């Protein structure tokens, strides 16, 4: 993986980890209702659970891509098209809705880790990351790099939602701020395709 591709991967990991989704909405609610310290097991469960999901997807997909190189190309094209679709959806988003009611206790580590296996956004992130950034000639190294990149970026990103839930909710409730935040995230997500196009 080239340095440019690795930087693009870090941007992709950041944009997909920091933008709204099921995990982040739950962390937002947990941070508001239970505080940062009580939400730490939830944050760690997300990061470790997603790491395990990434490794499972990566090692299975890596073997398939070695056996079928044409599938590698098809997955990169599909992954690129999906990234552009996500970039457009993020950039055009103009509303933030928080689902989730306050619960009696924050989510436990094991619950948060297990949730990654049924979280559609987590599956899309893992499959897209491996399809776009894993290199079939070096599947183990590239899967490890993708997994490390997400692990390094994911925990600080989800921590933002837990630690600054109330402030972030207030900031993003302003339609003008939300509009420009989403446009910036959409542009950054689309820019992660640049190394593939060269």
Is 82 within the bounds of a domain?
yes
Q: Which domain holds residue 70?
A: 3-96+110-196
Q: What is the Cα–Cα distance from 115 to 104, expressed in whole angstroms? A: 18
Q: How many independent structural domains does the chain possess?
A: 1
Whole-number pLDDT of residue 109: 97
Token representation of residue 197: 């196009």
Is 153 within the bounds of a domain?
yes
Q: What is the pTM of this model?
A: 0.70
Is 105 within the bounds of a domain?
no
Q: How far is CA 197 from CA 1, 17, 49, 71, in A?
A: 14, 23, 31, 18
CB atoms within 10 A of CB 34: 18
Is 102 within the bounds of a domain?
no
Question: CA angle at residue 115 from 131 to 96, to 5 degrees?
Answer: 85
Is 101 within the bounds of a domain?
no
If the chain, 198 residues long, is cut into consecutive pieces of 10 residues, what is the mean pLDDT of each piece?
A: 86 90 80 80 96 90 71 75 77 59 69 84 85 84 92 94 72 77 78 69
Whole-number pLDDT of residue 80: 76
Q: What is the Cα–Cα distance from 58 to 139, expressed in whole angstroms? A: 8
Whole-number pLDDT of residue 151: 93
Whole-number pLDDT of residue 95: 59
Is 71 within the bounds of a domain?
yes
């Amino acid at each position: 993986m080239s340095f440019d591709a690795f930087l693009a991967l870090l941007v992709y990991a950041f944009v997909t980890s920091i933008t709204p989704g099921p995990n982040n909405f739950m962390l937002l609610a947990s941070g508001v209702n239970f505080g940062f310290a009580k939400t730490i097991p939830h944050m760690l469960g997300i990061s470790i659970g997603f790491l395990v999901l990434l490794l499972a997807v990566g090692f299975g997909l890596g073997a398939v891509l070695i056996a079928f190189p044409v599938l590698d190309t098809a997955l990169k094209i599909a992954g690129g098209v999906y990234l552009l679709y996500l970039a457009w959806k993020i950039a055009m988003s103009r509303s933030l809705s928080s689902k989730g009611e306050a619960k009696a206790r924050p989510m436990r580590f094991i619950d948060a880790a297990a949730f990654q296996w049924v979280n559609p956004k987590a599956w899309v992130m893992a499959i897209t990351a491996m399809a776009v950034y894993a290199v079939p000639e070096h599947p183990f190294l590239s899967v490890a790099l993708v997994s490390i990149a997400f692990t390094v970026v994911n925990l600080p990103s989800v921590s933002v939602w837990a630690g600054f839930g109330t402030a972030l909710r207030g900031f993003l409730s302003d339609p003008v701020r939300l509009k420009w935040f989403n446009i910036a995230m959409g542009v950054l997500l689309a820019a992660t395709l640049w190394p593939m196009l060269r």
